[in-house]
Amino acid sequence: MQLLATFWWILKNAKTPLPADAIHERMHDLFGNNERLLSRRHIHRLKGWFKADVIRKHNTKKPVEYEATQNIPFKDALKPKFASVIAKYEKQVAGNKVNKNVRN
């Protein structure tokens, strides 16, 4: 999920569409090296985790460029089957919170 979140953050904060090289470089510079993202060629795989209407792929010229078409939260940008994982985690975290003001 961290890899997907950094990909989404880079795209939604970019002012213009970015080629895979630039996305890869920004991810590496801002968030460190991720062993699952070995090269810029793996960027196109990340797009498949998101809803079709939130990331646009520009094929009009080489290199292919990507842009976020909406400025929405990460969990809302993911396809429902992947967002459900985040929702389950949020429920677990909410259930584990302890109110420090309550005395036993």
pLDDT tens readout for residues 67-87:
998 888 888 899 888 887 777
Residue 27 has pLDDT above 50, yes or no: yes
Say what the pLDDT of residue 40 is: 67
Distances (CA, A) of 21 to 27, 35, 54, 94: 10, 16, 20, 38
Name the residue with tokens 């993911």: 78
CATH class of the structural domain 2-96: mainly alpha
Q: How confident is the model at residue 92 (pLDDT cuts 50, 70, 90)?
A: low
Q: Where are the beta strands (DSSP E) in 5-99?
A: 18-19, 55-58, 65-68
pTM: 0.75
Segment 45-50 mean pLDDT: 88
